[in-house]
Amino acid sequence: MDSKSLALQVRMKVLEMVHHANASHVGGAFSMADILAVLYNEVLTIDPQHPGDPHRDRFFLSKGHACSALYATLGLQGFFPLEQLDTYAMDGSMFLSHTSHKIPGVEISSGSLGHVLSIATGVAFAAKLKKTTFKVVCLVSDGELNEGSNWEPIMLAPQHKLDNLVLIIDYNKIQSLGFVKDVIDLEPLRAKFESFRWEVVEIDGHNHEEITDTVTTVSNNKNGIPKVIIAHTIKGKGVDYMENTILWHYRSPNIDLYNNALKQLGTT
């Protein structure tokens, strides 16, 4: 399927998983669904049958609380039988409600915000030292940029000319308990990264062509500069009562809201 169809299937699967488990974080999963669909359908070189291939591209999800979207993407792309996701967030399941490295295709367990960019930067640095050519892509949330631990690798990456590192910010402008601008305003975000000597591109994080072209272009630009893509997104994208609403960081849809959302996403 193409990336747009994949993104729709990801949202529908996330909705099913979250509703079935009475779990949360559907809003943040929906905001990054298009980015994940493009990465796994158009950009990343990762074989679902050999997810541990040493030559694979590396994708790191830092916003591990929204793991349902990554699990759904991997399942739909054949990394594991899709029916395994029926156990999401259930007792005894491998599919924990924060990203687990036990799942084929997942590089690292995550969810403690602010840690994964450091790991991705270390992997990119190691790849440089070993003269390997795989891409390293790390997706973070906007709210977690409040964490000081992110700014250490942001300083380190340009120092070591890590042009094999691409950071994507899911800039949906809502974090757990409020709008980002009201909690700790990140602006001017572009200027911050430019002052830290990163190459910065801003995109519509729901425009598949723009995501594909941008990630491909910056990944191929070996100019000694790490790249950051500020992806402007909508929390809860695709379901009107979820969009741009703080409530849907944590809320789980009941049966009526679930059916409403399925209808909006184009199914019954």
Count, residues in the chain: 268
Identify whether the C-beta of residue 166 lies closer than 8 Å to the C-beta of residue 135. Answer: yes
Identify whether the C-beta of residue 248 lies closer than 8 Å to the C-beta of residue 18. Answer: no
Report the number of distinct structural domains present in the chain. 1
pLDDT of residue 267: 66
Residue 134, C-beta contacts closer than 8 angstroms, at least 6 positions apart: 45, 55, 56, 57, 58, 127, 164
- Nearest C-alpha neighbor of 96 from the set 144, 140, 64: 64
Provide the 8-state DSSP code for 110: -
Q: What is the token pair recorded at 239?
A: 């379901």
pLDDT of residue 268: 46
pLDDT of residue 112: 84
d(CA 220, CA 201): 14
* CATH for 258: 3.40.50.970
| pTM for the predicted model, two decimal places | 0.97
58 φ/ψ angles, rounded to the nearest 5 degrees:
-110, 125
Identify whether the C-beta of residue 58 lies closer than 8 Å to the C-beta of residue 120. Answer: yes
Residue 156, SS3 per DSSP: helix
214 φ/ψ angles, rounded to the nearest 5 degrees:
-70, -50
d(CA 155, CA 134): 22
Identify whether the C-beta of residue 41 lies closer than 8 Å to the C-beta of residue 56. Answer: no
Q: What is the token pair recorded at 220?
A: 């191929």
What pairs with residue 179 in β-bridges?
Answer: 174
Identify whether the C-beta of residue 206 lies closer than 8 Å to the C-beta of residue 34. Answer: yes
What's the domain range around 113? 3-264
pLDDT of residue 178: 96
d(CA 264, CA 268): 9
Give the chain's count of helices (H) and strands (E). 10, 7
Q: What's the average pLDDT block by block, 10 residues per block, for the chain (268 residues)?
A: 96 97 96 98 97 97 97 98 97 95 96 94 97 97 96 98 98 96 97 98 98 97 97 98 96 96 84
DSSP H helices in 22-66 = 26-31, 33-38
